[in-house]
Structure 1
Amino acid sequence: MPPHDTIRAVEWKDNHLILLDQRKLPHAEHYLQLYSAEDTAEAIRNMVVRGAPAIGIAAAYGLLMAARKAFKQYPHDWRARLQPDIEVLAAARPTAVNLHWALQRMLKALDEHDADPIHTLMAVAQQIHQADIEANHRMALLGSELIKPTHGVLTHCNTGSLATGGYGTALGVIRAAYGEGKIEQVYADETRPWWQGSRLTAWELMRDKIPTQLICEGAAAHLMKLGKISWVIVGADRVAANGDVANKIGTYSLAVLARFHGVRFMVVAPTSTIDLETVSGEQIPLEERSADEILNVNQQRIAAPQVGAWNPAFDVTPGKLVDILVTEKGIVLRPDTEKLSTLMQS
C-alpha cells in the first residue's frame, strides 16, 4: 500500500466476507466473518460497515453468498429463491444509492451471463471492489490538485478506508494532499450522534500519522471565522441529478457556513453515487434512526428522563452550495443537471 494508506475494512476471503466492526473502534479492531446475505444486511443495517461505497461492496458480496447458497440447494429454481435475499439487502439502508447500484449491476451481469452464474457474480463483486479502490486513488489525485498549500481543511463524518473499498473519497483527497505537503492540519467534526469523526476518522488519520484535531460541530463557524481552514471536504451517500448532495447530517450546515465565510466546499464521490433518476434532493429518501442514538452514549443515558429525540441520519446540501464535485471521471464545478448529465455520458 502507498504511504498514508494502511487500512482495509472490507475483504473477501475464500468463500466469505470479512468486515472490520466499526462499532468497536477506536478501542478494538474486531473482524466479523459473514457467510450469508442475511448477516450482511444486518451488518449494513447495524453499521458494522458504513459509508456508501463500502455498503455497496458488502451488498455485492452478500448477493454472491446468497446466490451460491440458492444454486446449491435449489439448482432448478435458484433464481426465484434469490429474490427474498435481494429484498433484504436492498432494504438495509435506504439513502446510500451505491447499495442499489451494486445489486443492480450484479443482477444485470447475471442476466447477460447466466451460463456460470456463481463465477459471474464473483467476478463482478470483485470488480466493484477493485474499481472503487482505483476510483478513490483517481479522485484523490484530481482533488489534491485543487488544493494550494494551506494550513488546514475540515471534514465531516468518515470518508476514508473504513467507508470505501480502500483509501477513501474525501479522506483520499486529504491523504494525497497531505502527502504532497499541502495540508498541515486536518480538523474533524465529532459527527454526532454516532461519532464517526471522533471514533473513525480520527483513528484512521492518526494511524496514518496525519495531524488531526477534533472539533464539536458547533465549533465549525468559529474555526472558519478565525481563518484556520481553506476547504471543507466531504463525501456523499447520494448525488441527485441537479447536484443536490445527501450526506451525513450536519453536512448542509457546513456548506452554509463555508459559503458565508468564503471557504470552498468540495464533495468527493464516485459516479456510482450519482443518481440521475432522482431529479433533486427533495426526492432522496432520508433515513431516520432510533432516538436512542442521541439519548445514550455507550449504552449510558446522557439525556434528561422522558425527553424524546429526533434523529435524521442525513441531510441534503443544495447543489448551488457545492463549489467542486470530484469524481473518478473528472471534476465538476458548481454541479447542476446539465453538467452531471454530460459527466455521466462521458
Structure 2
Amino acid sequence: MAVFNLTPSEASAFILTGIPGLEAAHLWISIPFAMFYIIGLLGNFTILFVVGKEQTLHKPMYLLLCILAFTEISTTTSVLPKALCIFWFNLKGITVSGCLTQMFFLYAGLMVHSSILVTMAFDRYVAICNPLRYTTILTNSRIAKIGLASLIRPVLFVLPLPLLLSRLPFCANHIIPHMYCDHMSLVKMSCGDITVSRMYGFVAAFVIVGLDLILIALSYALIIRAVLRISSKEAHQKALNTCTAHLCVMLISYPPFFFSTLTYRFGQDIAPHFHILLANVGFVIPPVLNPIIYGVKTKDLREKVGKYTCRR
C-alpha cells in the first residue's frame, strides 16, 4: 500500500471504535459481515475464474463484469478484514498513514465501480440500439482502454482527499466513531482549516457520481426510445430483459452511497449506529448480490458456472 507524507502530529495512530453504541453486540454483528465477505469473495472469484477459463466469454460484457468483480474484491478487502479485527480481537488502532491509505482505496474502488456501471449502460445501449455494429464498437481492446481509464480517474480525483488531509493537524482526540476510515470522520477531527477538504469531498462525490448517473440515464433514455419503436411485444420484453441485471446492480449500489454522504453532512439527528450500518450496505451487499444477479440473468455465464460447479 502507498504511504502518504504526513505533517507532524501529536499521535501517530487513530482509534476505530467499530459501531458506536453497539460495542456489546460486535461479536454478533461480525457474523453476517464475515459471511457476506466470504460469499462475496467466492462469488466474484468464481466469475473471474470462469470468464478467464472460457474463451467464449471473452466478450465486452463479461470483461466488464470481471473488472466489476475485481473492484468489489478490492473494495471490501480494504475495509472488512480490519473491521473484523475490531469485532473479534478489539484491535482498534490504525496508523495515520494506514488510515489515509485505506480511505483512498475505499473511495477509489467505489469510483471505479461507478465507472464500470456507466460503461455497462453504454454496452447495453449499443447492444440494443446498434446490434449490428456491436462487435466493431465495443472491441476487447476498447474495453481494456475503458478499464484503464476507470483506474486512472480515481487516482486523479480521489488522491487529493488523503493528500489534503495529510497537510492538516489533527486534534488530541484521535477516535474515529466508525469501523473504517472515512473522509468526513477525519475532517471533523482536524484542528485546522477544513474548508477546502470538506468542499472538495462534497463536490467530488456529487459531481463525479452525478455525472455518471446522468450518462446512465441518457443511455437508458435512448434504449427506451429504441425499444418503443419496436412493434413486437416479445421483442420489447427481450430487449428490456438484457438490462434487468444492470438496473438491479445500480439500485443496490447508488442509494446507500448518496444516503451516507448526505447523512454525514445534514443528518445530525440520525443515530450513529444506524448510519454506520447503512453506510456499509453500499460496499458489503453488492459484492454478494452482483455475482448472483448476473449469474441468474445471464444464460451463458450461468451455464459456464454450472459446468465447473457441478463437475464431479
On whether the aligned pair clears a TM of 0.5, the verdict is: no
TM-score normalised by structure 2 residue count: 0.30
The structure showing larger relative contact order (alpha-carbon pairs under 8 Å, at least 6 residues apart) is 2
Q: TM-score, normalised by structure 1?
A: 0.28
From the two aligned structures, give the one with the greater helix fraction.
2
Bigger share in strand: 1
Q: Which has the larger radius of gyration?
A: 2
